[in-house]
């Protein structure tokens, strides 16, 4: 996964500066902030549990305001949990509701019908301001490499190095806040987390005539 080809953009992973790449140990809360749900580290893995019909939330403490970042990790549901392998980015916390405010979320086996895709939300505008779905289906319990992030509202999600969802958000264009995870009524196991500041080039695309 040295290059990620998006619509009219190419991300150079090798040139993307690593912001975070540390083993998870007893000091994990130096870098991560629990906002909702139950979180712990077991055998070098983050374990996130949300038992209610809502999202648990874990933020990487460092904010990225006007800085485009992406996160790669190994992740799986913990059986018997089967749903909502979710990453969040450009996310804010709303103190009034004590829950997520503005955010993007990308997910697998989510949205109540095992859908996969990317959703945007902004306080005052509402959920599903923008959503892109994909036909990808995640097999519960399997560990995958999961990558997600955004370039000024151009959101993307990869599984095992392959692009499975892309959303060009022309409405919200969120570009500040936190990156992290949000298990929604599920249990997740996460490790090998790497956060990068995205290096990319614009790549205006066009078709060559086929006939």
205 occurs within a structural domain? no
165 belongs to a structural domain:
yes
Domain, as residue range, for 26: 3-200
* Position 191 in a domain: yes
Per-residue model confidence (pLDDT) at position 134:
80
Q: First and final CA of the chain: distance in angstroms?
A: 33
Asked whether residue 20 is domain-assigned, the answer is yes
Task: Classify residue 206: in a domain, yes or no.
Answer: no
pTM attached to this predicted model:
0.94
How many structural domains does the chain have? Answer: 1
What's the pLDDT score for residue 203?
93
79, with CB counted inside 10 A (0-12, 13-18, 19+), is: exposed
Does residue 164 form part of some domain? yes
Please indicate, yes or no, if residue 207 is contained in any of the structural domains: no
Q: What average pLDDT values come out for the chain (211 residues) when binned by 10 residues?
A: 93 98 97 98 98 96 98 99 97 95 95 92 72 85 98 96 92 94 98 99 94 95
**Length of the chain counted residue by residue:** 211
- CATH number at 37 reads 2.60.120.560
Q: What is the pLDDT of residue 125?
A: 75
Which pLDDT value is given to residue 129? Answer: 58
- Residues 188, 82: Cα–Cα separation, whole Å: 9
At residue 142, the pLDDT reads: 98
pLDDT for 128: 58
Residue 209 lies in a domain: no
């Amino acid at each position: 996964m040295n290059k990620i080809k998006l619509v009219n953009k190419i991300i150079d992973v090798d040139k993307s500066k690593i912001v975070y790449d540390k083993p998870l140990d007893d000091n994990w809360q130096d870098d991560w902030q629990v906002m909702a749900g139950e979180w712990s580290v077991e055998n070098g893995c983050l374990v996130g549990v949300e038992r209610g019909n809502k999202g648990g939330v874990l933020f990487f403490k460092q904010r990225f305001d006007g800085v485009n970042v992406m996160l790669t990790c190994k992740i799986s549901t913990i059986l018997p949990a089967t749903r909502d392998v979710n990453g969040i980015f450009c996310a804010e916390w709303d103190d009034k509701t004590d829950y997520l405010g503005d955010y993007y979320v990308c997910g697998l086996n989510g949205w109540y019908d095992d859908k996969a895709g990317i959703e945007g939300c902004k306080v005052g505008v509402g959920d599903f301001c923008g959503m892109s779905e994909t036909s990808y289906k995640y097999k519960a319990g399997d560990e995958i490499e999961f990558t997600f992030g955004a370039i000024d509202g151009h959101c993307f999600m990869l599984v095992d190095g392959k692009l499975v969802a892309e959303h060009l958000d022309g409405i919200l264009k969120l570009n500040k806040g936190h990156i992290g995870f949000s298990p929604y009524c599920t249990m997740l196991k996460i490790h090998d987390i790497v956060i990068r500041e995205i290096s990319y080039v614009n790549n205006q695309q066009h078709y060559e005539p086929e006939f």
